[in-house]
Amino acid sequence: MGWQGNDPSTDFRGGGFISLENLLFFARKFPRTFQQLLHKEGSTRSTWEYPFAVAGVNITFMLIQMLDLRAGKPRSLTGYCFLKVLAEEYAAFDLLYCVAFKVMDTLWLAMHASYMEFNAVMKATRAQLEQELAMDSIGRIEDMPSYSLLQEDLIKRDWQKDSFSEYFMPSEFPTSQY
């Protein structure tokens, strides 16, 4: 799946547990796109590919930084714009993660990147997301132009359910513990 070593837990340092939640959300919400990216299918691929899971952790970390999520309140225009989106859509961070992953992969291929250029691709991904989130017409993640990269795979689900826990918690655990 693209871990750096035998123990995947060591790869979660940058993005924490939310990185795993993001990967699970992506796999469940956009399974076809997730599988295409995981198995490097569906388009002409690069000679040098990125490790999938580690890229996902890095995307989570990049989003946390970009959106100022560790600050008490946002200090950037991007963070402020995201708060407006989050007020309308509680799954906004997870959806933005999916968009970011697809944007990163698209830029990876467009830039004919190698593993040594991963940081440059991440920087370009961040710039694209910042530009789109700052657009006046963006009220939801689905309004972002890059969201269309995921459209062919969208599973119709009722995201306004009372319980979001089924997407993140194993069914054998009662949700009342969380």
Local confidence band at 15 (pLDDT 50, 70, 90 cut-offs): low
Domain containing 149 equals 16-156
53, part of any domain: yes
174, part of any domain: no
Local confidence band at 142 (pLDDT 50, 70, 90 cut-offs): very high
pLDDT digits (tens, 9 = 90+) for 76-115: 999 999 999 999 999 999 999 999 999 999 999 999 888 8
1, part of any domain: no
pLDDT value of position 171: 40
pLDDT digits (tens, 9 = 90+) for 156-169: 444 434 444 444 43
Buried b / exposed e over 125-143, threshold 16 CB at 10 Å, is bbebbbebbeeeebeebbe
pLDDT digits (tens, 9 = 90+) for 34-70: 998 988 886 667 667 888 888 999 999 999 999 998 8
* 15 vs 111: which has the higher pLDDT: 111
110, part of any domain: yes
Total domains in the fold of the chain: 1
38, part of any domain: yes
| Dist CA 178 CA 156 (whole Å) | 26
| Dist CA 100 CA 75 (whole Å) | 21
User: What is the pTM assigned to this prediction?
Assistant: 0.79
111, part of any domain: yes
